[in-house]
Structure 1
């Protein structure tokens, strides 16, 4: 990491503007953005995001900005040492400092050891390589930092002035990095599982994840489980970007490069208002507004195609079909506001007391899947999810059989 990039990022976090920083330091906006990305990578943390074309600093950026303050102050001292403290010229110089943190730490090691040879051995570097790095640092500052003598390398007067400045920079950077390393260790230990949003605590997704957590912790696994519910589209993106390790969703479209298993099969049904009287799907679709998962999901795509076929002449088609990737919202619209929707039977059955379930006039199969990345813990958790889904499917089949027998 270069000192110039740290100086740039500190200003961006303070001003909240890439373009203002670029104008002030006479840099291109892409150079400023690159500095931010470099620091985000080094610290393993997101500092900014764009919203409606405007740069927004995130909550974590306040802590990072505070951690950068000793470094930017030390860069000011470095500018005075290098004779670059003239008004107007300093910021342009500071934002372009090519000195890396690692070069500063190697300077400190030589100063502490009093010998380039001893420092090179401790750093596992060749002596010529270390000497060249020190020479480049001296050239940048415009001062000799060491006097080479037979008994070793001693700091010059300028070297003694530079030492506390570089020590401040090194300590502040190590403080920032130690926080990042701890975040990375916590993330590495955590197994992040994302699922489609369940309809409620009684849904098969919620039951499956509850059983997984209980069994996983009973085995005293080294990996803690972290759960998050998202739309199917967000799950795909999160798995691809590495933000989650396992995804439970209703389609593996776009995830062909990931390992995946089928969890269970079901069929699509219509859920209708409890006081509705229509007896056919065509009448329900023609007479009610529709709310369904978006076409980006497997269920939403199938439901949209099916409703189009069954009611091609319905009025106000474009204005009363709503896509919502939130099953609780869909259920509320059906139960309380006169909408109809489509769900897999396995998701509709637990909410049968809130809505009418109407069978389609033809069998339309749906399937749910678990997709996961290369981590062994992700594969282990996925196989447990498959086993639990199979157990729940078997239990549901037995219960359904008992209901049919009692009805007969």
Structure 2
């Protein structure tokens, strides 16, 4: 029974699909299938039921997963503790990031980490703010960027950016110029992310402050789909400028600030789990995030106010505030 076989099994159990697990792990699907077959042979029992929609756990598979998940978490915790004490940058740092942030700074953060932190490796995954907070608390990621307001137990957060939100429309001479007002936004043409997303909560708070109910024609979590519908079908959206800066520069989309007494903003924070030590490589990643946010703000790609980030300290030392349910 090999550790890689167990991790492969857990990936399939989480995703419900051998093919999706192969993509996440970066291994060929036949290799993954062989690993699971060897694991089942060693155990003398089937762990997965393979079907047309993917793979489901057998009763034995569910029991096996319940037993091995705490063991794997203990091993990961031991690895990070040893790495932190040794002050080394070896290993993998897992960063969770929302789509709206990924479209602006993710590539630059990844490139800077690769240049500055080798031999450590960065694993970057996208999800909504609620999922990222859950992954962080469960140790699935080492750090995450997400939107407030958000409450989750055992998470330490530090403000990184107060991000202005814009009314995004198709570009053209018929489009009004200057700032937009919340009262002027047509709900029959508005596309929003689904209820519960971090960005959506910030927009809802701004509409509440303006005394207007938030309504939309569609709710879509795919940033690419939202931008295409705005450009080709005449819908409008409320997004950070960094998401659309390339399309605005190309003259395909237009971005207008939204005013409701003050500019509409969403607060971005970086988080780490209070239950996990922060390794040297993770601390370096947090510094890189702060630097890239400041750089992209100066270049006008991000619009808003960058926060001055401190240096994350190990769990037992750091003063960062915690979010509690």
TM-score range, shorter chain: 0.5 to 0.7
Of 300, 303, 310 in structure 2, the residue corresponding to residue 396 of structure 1 is: 300
Instruction: Provide the alpha-carbon RMSD of the alignment.
Output: 4.3
Structure 1 residues 360, 240: CA separation in 2 closer, same or farther (over 3 Å shift)? same
8 Å CA contact 2:117–2:284 kept in 1: the answer is no
Q: Which residue of 2 aligns with 1:301?
A: 201
Greater RCO between the two (CA within 8 Å, min separation 6)?
A: 2
Q: Which residue of 2 aligns with 1:190?
A: 92
Q: Within 5 Å, give how 1:167-178 maps onto structure 2.
A: none
Shift of 1:216: 2.7
Q: 1:352-373 CA deviation, whole Å, 9 max, x = no partner?
A: 2222222323222322222124
Q: Secondary structure at the match of 2:199?
A: helix
Q: Secondary structure at the match of 2:148?
A: coil
Shift of 1:239: 1.7
In structure 1, stretches of 5+ residues that fail to align are 2-38, 74-94, 96-180, 199-203, 401-408
Shift of 1:49: 4.2
Shift of 1:282: 5.2
- Pairing 1:213–2:185 present: no
Of 361, 364, 387 in structure 1, the residue corresponding to residue 259 of structure 2 is: 361
Q: Distance in 1 between matches of 2:267 and 2:134?
A: 20
Structure 1 residues 241, 42: CA separation in 2 closer, same or farther (over 3 Å shift)? farther
Of 232, 235, 247 in structure 2, the residue corresponding to residue 336 of structure 1 is: 232
Q: Distance in 1 between matches of 2:199 and 2:302?
A: 26
Q: Distance in 1 between matches of 2:169 and 2:4?
A: 49
Q: Which residue of 1 aligns with 2:278?
A: 375
Q: Distance in 2 between matches of 1:235 and 1:220?
A: 23
In structure 2, stretches of 5+ residues that fail to align are 20-31, 46-59, 61-74, 80-89, 305-325
Shift of 1:386: 0.9
- Pairing 1:266–2:178 present: no
Q: Distance in 2 between matches of 1:72 and 1:397?
A: 56
Q: Within 5 Å, give how 1:94-113 maps onto structure 2.
A: none
Of 228, 244, 248 in structure 1, the residue corresponding to residue 125 of structure 2 is: 228
Structure 1 residues 283, 47: CA separation in 2 closer, same or farther (over 3 Å shift)? closer
Structure 1 length as normaliser, TM-score? 0.48
Q: Within 5 Å, give how 1:313-324 maps onto structure 2.
A: 320-324=216-220
Shift of 1:64: 2.6
8 Å CA contact 1:281–1:358 kept in 2: the answer is no
Structure 1 residues 379, 372: CA separation in 2 closer, same or farther (over 3 Å shift)? farther
Q: Distance in 2 between matches of 1:391 and 1:71?
A: 53
**Larger fraction in strand:** 2
Of 53, 68, 72 in structure 1, the residue corresponding to residue 40 of structure 2 is: 68
Q: Distance in 2 between matches of 1:256 and 1:384?
A: 26
Q: Secondary structure at the match of 1:296?
A: coil
8 Å CA contact 1:335–1:355 kept in 2: the answer is yes
Q: Distance in 2 between matches of 1:256 and 1:383?
A: 24
Structure 2 length as normaliser, TM-score? 0.59
Q: Secondary structure at the match of 1:247?
A: strand
Shift of 1:243: 1.9
Q: Which structure's CA Rg is the greater one?
A: 1
Q: Spell out structure 1 runs of 4+ moving beyond 6 A.
A: 39-42, 397-400
Q: Which residue of 2 aligns with 1:23?
A: none
Q: Distance in 1 between matches of 2:299 and 2:124?
A: 25
Q: Secondary structure at the match of 2:10?
A: coil
Q: Which residue of 1 aligns with 2:6?
A: 43
Number of residue pairs aligned between Structure 1 and Structure 2? 241
8 Å CA contact 2:163–2:303 kept in 1: the answer is no
Shift of 1:296: 1.8
Q: Distance in 1 between matches of 2:194 and 2:175?
A: 27
8 Å CA contact 1:278–1:284 kept in 2: the answer is no
